[in-house]
């Protein structure tokens, strides 16, 4: 029995260590290597291989994995956004999804938008492979969804062209100077009275959880910690004239959904 417990413990440690090494290699490790090789000047240089290589996208985009990464709060976070969209009057209007996201958030968002009367949903992402993968999830809405390769920090969409904009766990992956640019663009394309739905990490309240989150960001997501203070999205958005924000925190404050409303003209 003792030997069985020992083997199980060793196997568990090996699996966890291998998983951590796998994700480190495809996240911060890739950024470090690009920096060494001087390849951080391209507009998509900050995008991890796990979000750009189609084989890796298909390997990792499995709902149980995504749920575990977000401490099994994924469904709750998506539901907060979906419930907001269902309450919005989107009749005959356009909805934007800024940057593709893993899991079932995109099908749920599109379904909610369509049921609220949206005429069209636009999916924008800087990586074509992400758009190609997204199409496999949204096949039943083929006639109502358009996919465009676009940069969240310099969108091609006209001013005031969408009435809802969903950005799900993108900001923490952007270098700090690009975070505010992405928020500027997200609000620019919103029509008066439109809403930005933003899902992200947040600074947790319990000290133990905060320490674990801090460690996670330091190891895997070097751009994420700024959301706790210097680049708090609510602070930046509420500094815009007339913009009102509601912040909903989840799991002891570890995650957040922000709803930013653009003022009526």
Whether 81 is in a domain gets the answer yes
Q: Of 14-18, 22-26, 77-81, 171-175, which range is least confident?
A: 14-18
Whether 38 is in a domain gets the answer no
Q: Is 148 helix (H, G, I), strand (E, B) or coil?
A: strand
Domain residues for the domain of 161 are 64-261
Whether 94 is in a domain gets the answer yes
Whether 106 is in a domain gets the answer yes
Whether 122 is in a domain gets the answer yes
Whether 211 is in a domain gets the answer yes
Residue 40: pLDDT above 80?
no
Whether 142 is in a domain gets the answer yes
Whether 100 is in a domain gets the answer yes
- As a whole number of angstroms, the distance between CA 116 and CA 197 comes to 15
**Structural domains in the chain (count):** 1
Q: Is 72 helix (H, G, I), strand (E, B) or coil?
A: coil
Query: Positive or negative CA dihedral for 22, 26, 27, 28?
Result: positive
User: CATH number for the domain including 254?
Assistant: 3.40.50.150
- As a whole number of angstroms, the distance between CA 198 and CA 43 comes to 22
pLDDT tens sequence across 122-154: 999 999 999 999 999 998 998 899 999 999 999
- As a whole number of angstroms, the distance between CA 102 and CA 100 comes to 7
Beta bridge partners of 195: 164, 261
Q: Is 125 helix (H, G, I), strand (E, B) or coil?
A: strand
Q: Of 28-37, 113-122, 141-150, 184-193, which range is least confident?
A: 28-37
């Amino acid at each position: 029995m003792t030997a069985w417990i020992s083997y199980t413990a060793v196997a568990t440690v090996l699996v966890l260590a291998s998983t951590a090494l796998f994700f480190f290699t495809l996240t911060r490790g890739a950024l470090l290597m690009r920096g060494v090789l001087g390849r951080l000047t391209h507009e998509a240089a900050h995008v991890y291989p796990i979000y750009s290589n189609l084989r890796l996208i298909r390997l990792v985009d499995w709902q149980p994995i995504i749920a575990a990464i977000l401490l099994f709060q994924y469904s709750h976070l998506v539901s907060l956004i979906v419930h907001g969209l269902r309450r919005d009057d989107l009749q005959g209007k356009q909805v934007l999804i800024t940057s593709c996201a893993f899991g079932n958030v995109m099908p749920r968002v599109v379904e909610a938008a369509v049921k609220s009367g949206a005429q069209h949903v636009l999916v924008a992402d800087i990586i074509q492979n992400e758009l190609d993968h997204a199409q496999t999830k949204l096949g039943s809405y083929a006639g109502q969804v358009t996919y465009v390769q676009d940069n969240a920090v310099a969108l091609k969409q006209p001013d005031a062209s969408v009435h809802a904009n969903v950005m799900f766990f993108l900001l923490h992956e952007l270098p700090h100077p690009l975070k505010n640019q992405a928020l500027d663009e997200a609000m620019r394309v919103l029509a008066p009275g439109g809403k930005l739905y933003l899902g992200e990490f947040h600074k947790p309240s319990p000290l133990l959880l905060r320490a674990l989150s801090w460690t996670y960001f330091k190891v895997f997501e070097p751009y994420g910690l700024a959301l706790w203070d210097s680049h708090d999205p609510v602070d930046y958005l509420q500094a815009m004239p007339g913009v009102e924000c509601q912040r909903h925190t989840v799991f002891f404050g570890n995650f957040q959904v922000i709803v930013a409303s653009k003022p009526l003209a």
